[in-house]
């Protein structure tokens, strides 16, 4: 079914359903973050196992998104979306009743398998359902709904944990997905590529292997802060080599899964790079802010979600207006403005201290949301316009895969820089030698170790432990300042590059149906 066959009212109903599908997948990690301490106590999980409960989802989600997009184009976008959502819901239910950390990690990986389908399939359906005149507005709404996950996930997770067991943060996905499935089958039309090309199995396998190796290496680097280890640098290099091989193979394939010629288009390359780096900064920055808000400011998980609400409000407001701004001022202006707003927010957060009033923090978070909404809305519109309609799913998958790689890189690199600076500052404390090495890597590690040591017979005196915790907070604030400032500098550099490569005006849409 083509976009001209959908009545206008039905289009916006379809958009609301697809946006909700995107929200529940985007929300999955933000809602999980607030439950990690409870899961650790309930399942006796180690810090490494907790990290993999998060990363297993990210790894599979990123590695298989491109494959999911290609399958959606070939086999039917609604069909593949329904299959993905069913897998996601079943795995969510099984995750909620996991009895060991290993079970939780395994089912989280299956959730990533189902979730990988949602971004490319929903974007492809939107491109097929809306005429070019409305696509910018529709993609802005889609981006805005996704932006709600930043605060909505922690708020919902905190509210659930106050009343139910930790598994409620997963089981809540089931009724939401069930409602989405009913509405998809009732209101969303089927669509697929008009030309049925042969399935490029080598391309799909190479893309999955390259992304998996790269993301796994990045995750390991962030976990260990030892980027030269064989299971870190070696895997990153392997991922890059496989990516080069993928490009070489796809250039010689008659019907490639990945149209590498897209990267010759400066608009596509600059757009995907901008969104990847924006997620690098925001995801990495949010990773640190969780510790700042909960461990330095001593707020609860529910309060954390409420404090992050300006990010969601700003993101929704700017994403909704990004389409109109891209039309009137052009994508170069809109995306550059978003990157600079995001950079300003991180630079502002770099100035806060443990006793800073909450209102400046909220202003900086609002700026972050505004910047993110402009970047996400405008880049998504730009990328989808330059992708041919027959490859809408695979084009959307490339955009979302690079976004996810940027997010993983942000947590790993910014987390690693934070750990290095924190250890350097913490090691300078006179009493730091009283604690084992595990306490020297992070504020949470210090707090956990101090709690354990305080109950031992040979524990340092209460005054010494209090001095260690006070010094640890100071070390964290120094590390946060340096890390946030470095991320802001990276965003400014990306904005400068974007001013050179991003188009002044939106291009004409590729391969629009009539």
Residue 216: pLDDT band (50, 70, 90) is confident
Residue 2: pLDDT band (50, 70, 90) is very low
Average pLDDT over residues 289-301: 83
Tell if the pTM clears 0.75, that is, is over it.
Answer: yes
Which token pair is 240? 């890059």
Residue 345: pLDDT band (50, 70, 90) is very high
SS3 state at 434: helix
Fold identical between 1-198 and 259-415+481-506?
Answer: yes
Give, as one character, the DSSP assignment of residue 459: P
Q: Which CATH architecture has domain 259-415+481-506?
A: Up-down Bundle (1.20)
264: exposed, middle or buried (Cβ count in 10 Å: 0-12, 13-18, 19+):
exposed
Residue 1: pLDDT band (50, 70, 90) is very low
The answer to whether 372 touches 147, Cβ cutoff 8 Å, is: yes
Quote the pLDDT of residue 316.
85
Average pLDDT over residues 159-183: 90
pLDDT at 458 over 80: no
64-107, pLDDT tens digit by residue? 887 888 888 778 888 999 999 999 999 999 999 998 989 999 99
The answer to whether 42 touches 168, Cβ cutoff 8 Å, is: no
Quote the pLDDT of residue 513.
45
Quote the pLDDT of residue 367.
94
358-409, pLDDT tens digit by residue? 999 999 999 999 998 899 888 888 877 777 766 666 667 777 778 877 877 7
Rounded Cα distance, 471 and 467, in Å: 6
Q: Where are the domains of the chain?
A: 1-198, 200-256, 259-415+481-506, 424-475
Averaged confidence pLDDT in the chain:
82
| CB within 8 Å of 63: residues ≥ 6 apart | 116, 208, 211, 212, 215
Give, as one character, the DSSP assignment of residue 172: T
Percent of the chain topping pLDDT 90? 19
Q: Nearest Cα to 62, choosing from 112, 126, 13?
A: 112
- Identify which of 130-134, 280-284, 464-468 has the greatest average pLDDT: 280-284
Percent of the chain topping pLDDT 70? 88
Give, as one character, the DSSP assignment of residue 460: P
pLDDT greater at residue 198 or residue 406: 406
pLDDT greater at residue 491 or residue 34: 491
pLDDT greater at residue 438 or residue 68: 68
Largest Cα separation within the chain, whole Å, is 78
pLDDT at 263 over 60: yes
Average pLDDT over residues 476-482: 90
Q: 25-29, 146-150, 449-453 — which is least confidently predicted? A: 449-453
Residue 511: pLDDT band (50, 70, 90) is low
Which token pair is 89? 């819901």
Quote the pLDDT of residue 4.
43
Out of 2.60.40.1930, 3.40.50.880, 1.20.1250.20, 2.60.40.10, which CATH number does the structure's domain 1-198 have? 1.20.1250.20
Quote the pLDDT of residue 287.
76
Radius of gyration, alpha carbons of the chain: 23
Rounded Cα distance, 37 and 40, in Å: 5
């Amino acid at each position: 079914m083509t976009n001209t066959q959908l009545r206008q009212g039905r289009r916006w109903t379809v958009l609301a359903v697809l946006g909700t599908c995107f929200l529940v997948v985007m929300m999955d990690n933000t809602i999980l973050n607030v439950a990690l301490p409870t899961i650790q106590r309930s399942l006796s999980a180690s810090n490494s196992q907790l990290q993999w409960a998060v990363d297993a989802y990210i790894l599979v989600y990123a590695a298989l998104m491109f494959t999911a997009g290609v399958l959606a184009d070939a086999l039917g976008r609604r069909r593949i979306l329904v299959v993905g959502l069913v897998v996601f819901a079943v795995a969510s239910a099984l995750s909620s009743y996991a009895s060991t950390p290993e079970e939780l990690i395994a089912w989280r990986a299956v959730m990533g398998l189902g979730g990988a389908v949602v971004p490319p399939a929903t974007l492809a359906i939107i491109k097929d359902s809306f005429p070019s005149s409305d696509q910018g507005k529709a993609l802005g709404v889609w981006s805005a709904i996704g932006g709600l996950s930043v605060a909505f996930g922690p708020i919902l997770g905190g509210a659930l944990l106050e009343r139910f067991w930790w598994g409620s943060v997963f089981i809540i996905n089931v009724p939401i997905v069930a409602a989405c499935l009913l509405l998809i089958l009732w209101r969303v039309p089927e669509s697929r590529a008009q030309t049925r090309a042969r399935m490029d199995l080598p391309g799909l396998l190479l893309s999955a292997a390259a992304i998996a190796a790269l993301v796994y290496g990045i995750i390991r680097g962030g976990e260990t802060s030892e980027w030269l280890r064989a299971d870190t640098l070696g895997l990153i290099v392997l991922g890059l080599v496989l990516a080069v091989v993928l490009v070489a193979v796809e250039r010689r394939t008659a019907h490639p899964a990945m149209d590498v010629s897209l990267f010759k288009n400066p608009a596509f390359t600059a757009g995907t790079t901008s969104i990847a780096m924006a997620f690098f900064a925001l995801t990495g920055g949010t990773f640190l802010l969780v510790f700042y808000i909960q461990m330095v400011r001593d707020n609860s998980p529910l309060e954390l979600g409420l404090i992050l609400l300006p990010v969601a409000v700003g993101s929704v407001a700017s994403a909704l207006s990004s389409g109109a701004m891209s039309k009137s001022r052009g994508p170069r202006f809109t995306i550059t403005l978003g990157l600079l707003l995001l950079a300003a927010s991180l630079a502002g957060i770099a100035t806060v201290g443990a006793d800073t009033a909450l209102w400046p923090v909220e202003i900086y978070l609002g700026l972050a949301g505004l910047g993110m909404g402009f970047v996400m809305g405008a880049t998504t519109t730009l990328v989808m316009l330059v992708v041919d309609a027959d490859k809408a799913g695979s084009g959307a998958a490339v955009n979302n895969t690079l976004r996810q790689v940027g997010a993983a890189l942000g947590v790993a690199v910014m987390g690693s820089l934070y750990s290095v600076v924190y250890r350097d500052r913490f090691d300078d404390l006179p009493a730091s030698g009283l604690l084992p090495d595990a306490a020297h890597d992070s504020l949470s590690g210090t707090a956990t170790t101090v709690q354990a040591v305080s109950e031992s017979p040979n524990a340092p005196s209460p005054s010494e432990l209090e001095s260690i915790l006070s010094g640890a907070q100071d070390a964290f604030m120094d590390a946060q300042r340096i890390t946030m400032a470095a991320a802001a500098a990276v965003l400014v550099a990306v904005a400068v590059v974007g001013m050179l490569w991003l188009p002044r005006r939106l291009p004409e849409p590729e391969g629009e149906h009539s």
